Amino acid sequence: MSCVHAEGLDQLVELDLSMSQARTMFTVALADRPLAINEIATSIGLSVAAAGRTVDQLVKLGCLERHESPDDRRVKLVALTKRGFDAVDQQMEHKRRALRVVAEQLQPDHAEDLHRVLGQILESDALRVPEKEDHV
């Protein structure tokens, strides 16, 4: 697992991405629509100013693109470019490959147990990232 994980991090290093930049890209990738900078800030726990600087850096790297909102020209919406999508997709493929390596080494009954338990976890809210309001 750690070898495959290291390969995935190598790719992020090649792009010269900070952890905030990588988290921003994954947040945008997982959204079903372009996100406003304040939504990104809330999601990854940065100030709006810091999220804006992170988005600016990713735009310069060609990983994100920014457009005006059709509803409010003051709001900038952020989406992945092809380069950004490819980087996220490659990172996810590294993770899938790591999981396959582990799963292939399991005994069949352990693999079935893991599948059952992971299914239950995914159906629950156990992996939901708490909103800031949940911490108050």
Tokens standing for residue 51: 């999220």
Tokens standing for residue 34: 């372009």
CATH 2.60.40.420 fits 2-135, yes or no: no
pLDDT tens by residue, 60-70: 999 999 999 89
**What average pLDDT does the segment 88-111 reach?**
85
* pLDDT of 14 higher than 80: no
pLDDT tens by residue, 71-92: 998 889 999 999 999 988 888 8
